[in-house]
Structure 1
Amino acid sequence: MMVRSRQPTFLELFTPKLVTTLQGHYRLSDFRADAVAGLTVAIVALPLSMAIAIASGVTPDRGLYAAIVGGFIVSALGGSRFQIGGPAGAFIVLVAATVEHHGVEGLILATLLSGLILLAIGLLRLGTFIKYIPYPVTIGFTAGIAVIIFVSQIKELLGLTLAGKEPGQLVPKLQALVEAVPTANWAAVLTAVIAIGLIVSVRRYRPHWPAFLIAVGLASGLAWAANLPVETIGSRFGGIPRALPAPYLPALSLEKLAAVLPAALSFALLGGIESLLSAVVADSMSGRRHRSNCELVAQGAANVASALFGGLCVTGTIARTATNVRSGARSPVAGMLHALFLLLFMLVAAPLASFIPLAALAAVLAVVAWNMAEKHEFGTLIRASRGDAVVVLATFLLVVFRDLTEGILVGFGLGTLLFLHRMAQAVDVERPQPMIEEDRPDTAAVGLDASGPCSTASDPDVVVCRISGAFFFGAAAAVGAALDRIGEHPRAYIIDFSGVPFLDSTAAATIEGFARKARRQGATVYIAGAQPTVRRALLTHGVKPPGVRFRSSVASALTAAER
């Protein structure tokens, strides 16, 4: 007897992990572990949040607002114990394009809309479908984003002075950077090289130390002590505020909503993918299990709140989440404390941020881009198969030279076609093995017929065929052609469905058409061994008695046919 698993209730699906964790045995020792993990993650997130904001074309404080407000809500309401929310490098390209076309107010509105979209996706329980994004698409757009991020930091790494505004597209941007090479600032180059060298060295010899903060801190100290002529946060932005701003709603109008809707959809799509990937990484590291739709609801609420405080879009961040797990976090309290520590840093150390060289922050993002490029996985997919290579290269090239959303959609479409092609190839009309007398009492043995894909029983007027694999529209034509190649005109066909786990309407129509043709020839069609779901689908599409008869096995169908 098959036992059906109980479906979880709405409350079980959307209860935050914070609630279920604190309802357990949460002790003082757990809080201490969470505090240490939260402080560690905050030290990593501090320079990274400002660097991502600057690279996105906005002031550094907006990255901190997103990390503080959005990060707190992601941990408080999310479906993962260890997820850390905040601004992510993957959004740099989208955010920069949105700011360029719609301004900062348009960015805030798009972030607010993306939060509402994510809330709807989560509450409608559509988060499960995000996992169907093919792996080559994920690797392709991640590698493409890494290339764009690195190229966008060349200006700050070399301290270049461009003749005009930096172009958004890759090829014009590279041309402008090459033309500006004579304006390179040796002090900025030196600062960037020192920062990258420190990050690499610390990660190699002291992997548990905060490499980003150490590199940015020492590079800032060197630039200040030596009075290096480099551009800093203070010289370009005038520093960062020492408190959160009051929440406010951006200006709303139908025209503005329609204009930023494509950007909001892109934010929601990328944010959903990135956050669930991050939650899966946390699960694999910790042995826990997250709630996908609850996590998307939290991401939506976090983006709405971040927008109200003027912050960037928020998502789950893989590097910071992994740092949280490795630092010994026990619960979502660690992520909430990480946000509070960031707020404390901003309140206390805001004046010091004015001395941070932009070249040092560019060095941080250059290392981030190098790490997120997934070089080994990219090479493996190129070598794995021609289909995977086409998907990953198409996604990568479209992201780099065209548009991130276009790259994801085209890559997903190609990946889906590749999957359907492979599934169609896996469906076959086979020659069943001969049955011996002991297998079927009172019936003769089945012999093989070399002229086609099916076999004949001891009675030459009975033909047996076996279909195996998921029988869907991609395979329907091949199966129909195989059945049509049967040269004989017997009085009975037996089609063994025991190897078919799934059947769609196109496949059912193929069988119905074959049965109708057999009926005109005076033959009966037996369907043997069909699973209940497959049988129900066939009956729904008109494959039913008297034209077609169902039997539990090939043996019982042979007995009925020979009678």
Structure 2
Amino acid sequence: MAEKALKPTEEKLKPKLFSVMKTYTKEQFIKDIIAGVIVAIIALPLSIALALASGVGPEQGLYTAIIAGFIVSFLGGSRVQIAGPTAAFATTVAGIVAAEGMDGLAISAIMAGIILIIMGLCRFGTLIKYIPGTITTGFTFGIAVTILLGQIKDFMGLTFKNKPIETIDKVKEIVNCIGTINWQALLVGVISLAILIFWPKKLEKIPASLIAVIVGSLLVKFSGLEVNTIDSLYDISNSLPHPTVPDVTFARVRALLPNAFTIAVLAAVESLLSCVVADGMIGSKHRSNMELVAQGAANIGSAFFGGIPATGAIARTAANVKNGGRTPVAGMVHSVVVLATLVALMKYAGYIPMPTIAAILFVVAYNMSGWRNIRNTVKTAPKSDIAVLFVTLVLTVVFDLVVAIGVGTVMAALLFMKRMADVTEAHAWV
């Protein structure tokens, strides 16, 4: 299904769905349904795990997969993009929720959505690729480290005396409370992690995260192990997503604007990166500006229905392609299946052990870390680029993404200007 490439100036602001339906077939519809169901099975435990890592309830993750996932597939610029909650937002969302509550998060996501729509309408989609790779590599690895450190408590069953928010404070609390380790929780966590690592080598078709959730839940339910589950820490709801309007004031808008820009930039970068990966897999070409508009609409919709920020998910998008999905219909089916599961099976999510959730997030963090990119950068890049990468990485872990992206961008800009000045000076001497 290769498509004729368009020049950036010719790119249509038209959803891909409306284009592909002209040649849609019954055979492809069946393939899209199968792919959508499989992706939904993958998305279910991930959406719950990422919601908990973001400091919100498990149903908020499913609301995001349902609302944002459907909107991105319906309006997006990619044939196969699957959207929903992702690890890139987890630390930022957790920080906003802790400081500003769900209202603050909703306002931030709505503003981010508006920014994304403006970016798309102004044809900024092609400019995102000019963000230095050292910055994206640095903050992506930093996010992975932050997620991993944030899950040690549940993986080991530690009992914290305080409720730390910042990553450094979490590390201190882990060290101080290491004597409270729950060996039963650690056992469940290790078993879950082993399943996640070794299961794909044997039966790749069945998602390892689903098997880990089932085995972990049955183990805790019938063995009598004293391990925290989702039900013991959170109130489980299987109610449908319903509209909620945040309390908006000018003061809150002004205070939350930096977070909104961070969410918008992350959503743009990760979504378009996912689109590029998908293009290579199916021989297509996405519409980057339409994708930004869709991501903006998705984040606004998710916020109004109690969800969290969303973006294109590379792993779920790749799973969609591998299982035969070739049109946005697969992504829409994925959202409908998640909705049906929310209503029919959400009560069983309460049995999932927290160490299993932590193990899933360990694997998510490892897969998103991009440590090979860092290794290659250290081997081949100039020292100045390596400095930008590690400054961005460290600031992401120690402070937050707002600081990391800001400082990293300024450093990259200064280095670029210095290189241009050196080139100009060299030409002057010729």
| Inter-partner Cα distance in structure 2 for 1:208 and 1:31 | 20
Deviation sequence 1:325-353 (CA, Å, 0-9, x none): 11111201000100001001111111111
Q: Which moved more, 1:387-396 or 1:153-162?
A: 387-396
1:37 corresponds, among 31, 35, 38, to 35
2:169 corresponds, among 164, 169, 172, to 172
Shift of the 291–160 alpha-carbon distance from structure 1 to 2, 3 Å rule, reads same
For normalisation by structure 2, the TM-score amounts to: 0.95
Deviation sequence 1:199-221 (CA, Å, 0-9, x none): 11111222222111111111111
Asked if 1:132 is matched to 2:80, the reply is no
In structure 1, the residue matched to 2:114 is 116
| Inter-partner Cα distance in structure 1 for 2:121 and 2:222 | 54
In structure 1, the residue matched to 2:3 is none
- Is the 1:306–1:313 contact (alpha carbons within 8 Å) kept by the matching residues of 2? yes
Within a 5 Å distance, the mapping from 1:109-258 to structure 2 comes to: 109-165=107-163, 167-239=164-236, 241-258=237-254
Greater share of residues in strand: 1
| Inter-partner Cα distance in structure 1 for 2:248 and 2:167 | 32
In structure 1, the residue matched to 2:337 is 341
Amino acid corresponding to residue 247 of structure 2 in structure 1: A
In structure 2, the residue matched to 1:361 is 357
Shift of the 29–379 alpha-carbon distance from structure 1 to 2, 3 Å rule, reads same
Greater share of residues in helix: 2
| Inter-partner Cα distance in structure 1 for 2:9 and 2:34 | 34
| Inter-partner Cα distance in structure 2 for 1:172 and 1:308 | 32
| 3-state SS, counterpart of residue 93 of structure 2 | helix
In structure 2, the residue matched to 1:527 is none
Among all aligned residue pairs of Structure 1 and Structure 2, give the percentage whose two residues are the same amino acid: 44
| Runs of at least 5 residues in structure 1 that lack an aligned partner in the other structure | 425-472, 484-563
| 3-state SS, counterpart of residue 225 of structure 2 | coil
**TM-aligned CA deviation for residue 420 of structure 1:** 4.7
Within a 5 Å distance, the mapping from 1:85-484 to structure 2 comes to: 85-165=83-163, 167-239=164-236, 241-385=237-381, 386-422=383-419, 424=420, 475-480=423-428, 482=429
- Is the 1:232–1:355 contact (alpha carbons within 8 Å) kept by the matching residues of 2? yes
- Is the 1:383–1:389 contact (alpha carbons within 8 Å) kept by the matching residues of 2? no
Amino acid corresponding to residue 100 of structure 1 in structure 2: A
**TM-aligned CA deviation for residue 7 of structure 1:** 7.6
**TM-aligned CA deviation for residue 421 of structure 1:** 4.7
- Is the 2:258–2:402 contact (alpha carbons within 8 Å) kept by the matching residues of 1? no
**TM-aligned CA deviation for residue 477 of structure 1:** 3.5
| 3-state SS, counterpart of residue 247 of structure 2 | coil
| Inter-partner Cα distance in structure 2 for 1:136 and 1:261 | 25
| Inter-partner Cα distance in structure 1 for 2:166 and 2:100 | 17
- Is the 1:115–1:301 contact (alpha carbons within 8 Å) kept by the matching residues of 2? yes
Deviation sequence 1:198-250 (CA, Å, 0-9, x none): 111111222222111111111111110112211111111132x2232321211
**TM-aligned CA deviation for residue 387 of structure 1:** 2.9
| 3-state SS, counterpart of residue 12 of structure 2 | helix
| Inter-partner Cα distance in structure 2 for 1:334 and 1:296 | 20
- Is the 1:231–1:357 contact (alpha carbons within 8 Å) kept by the matching residues of 2? yes
| 3-state SS, counterpart of residue 266 of structure 2 | helix
| 3-state SS, counterpart of residue 389 of structure 1 | helix
- Is the 1:278–1:321 contact (alpha carbons within 8 Å) kept by the matching residues of 2? yes
**TM-aligned CA deviation for residue 415 of structure 1:** 3.1
Amino acid corresponding to residue 223 of structure 2 in structure 1: A
| 3-state SS, counterpart of residue 13 of structure 1 | coil
Deviation sequence 1:29-77 (CA, Å, 0-9, x none): 1011101111111111101111111111111111110110000000100
| 3-state SS, counterpart of residue 311 of structure 1 | coil
| Inter-partner Cα distance in structure 2 for 1:170 and 1:210 | 30
Shift of the 149–7 alpha-carbon distance from structure 1 to 2, 3 Å rule, reads closer
In structure 2, the residue matched to 1:56 is 54
| Runs of at least 5 residues in structure 2 that lack an aligned partner in the other structure | 1-5
| Inter-partner Cα distance in structure 2 for 1:206 and 1:6 | 42
In structure 2, the residue matched to 1:81 is 79
| Inter-partner Cα distance in structure 2 for 1:113 and 1:288 | 31
In structure 2, the residue matched to 1:13 is 12
Residues matched between the structures, number? 424
| Inter-partner Cα distance in structure 2 for 1:151 and 1:283 | 34
- Is the 2:259–2:402 contact (alpha carbons within 8 Å) kept by the matching residues of 1? no
Deviation sequence 1:246-267 (CA, Å, 0-9, x none): 2121111111211221111111
- Which runs of 4 or more aligned residues in structure 1 lie more than 6 Å from their structure 2 counterparts after TM superposition? none
Q: Which has the higher contact order (CA 8 A, sep 6+)?
A: 2
- Is the 2:78–2:328 contact (alpha carbons within 8 Å) kept by the matching residues of 1? yes
| Inter-partner Cα distance in structure 1 for 2:411 and 2:202 | 43
- Is the 2:151–2:361 contact (alpha carbons within 8 Å) kept by the matching residues of 1? yes
Amino acid corresponding to residue 196 of structure 2 in structure 1: I
Amino acid corresponding to residue 391 of structure 1 in structure 2: V
- Is the 1:244–1:309 contact (alpha carbons within 8 Å) kept by the matching residues of 2? no
Highest CA radius of gyration, 1 or 2? Answer: 1
Amino acid corresponding to residue 16 of structure 1 in structure 2: P
- Is the 1:114–1:303 contact (alpha carbons within 8 Å) kept by the matching residues of 2? yes
| Inter-partner Cα distance in structure 2 for 1:189 and 1:474 | 56
Deviation sequence 1:254-283 (CA, Å, 0-9, x none): 112112211111111111111111111111
**TM-aligned CA deviation for residue 376 of structure 1:** 1.4
Deviation sequence 1:111-152 (CA, Å, 0-9, x none): 111111111111111122111011121111111110000000
**TM-aligned CA deviation for residue 324 of structure 1:** 0.9
- Is the 1:303–1:314 contact (alpha carbons within 8 Å) kept by the matching residues of 2? yes
- Is the 1:137–1:408 contact (alpha carbons within 8 Å) kept by the matching residues of 2? yes
In structure 2, the residue matched to 1:521 is none
| Inter-partner Cα distance in structure 2 for 1:356 and 1:213 | 11
| Inter-partner Cα distance in structure 1 for 2:348 and 2:147 | 26
| Inter-partner Cα distance in structure 1 for 2:385 and 2:201 | 33
| Inter-partner Cα distance in structure 2 for 1:36 and 1:14 | 29
Amino acid corresponding to residue 188 of structure 2 in structure 1: T
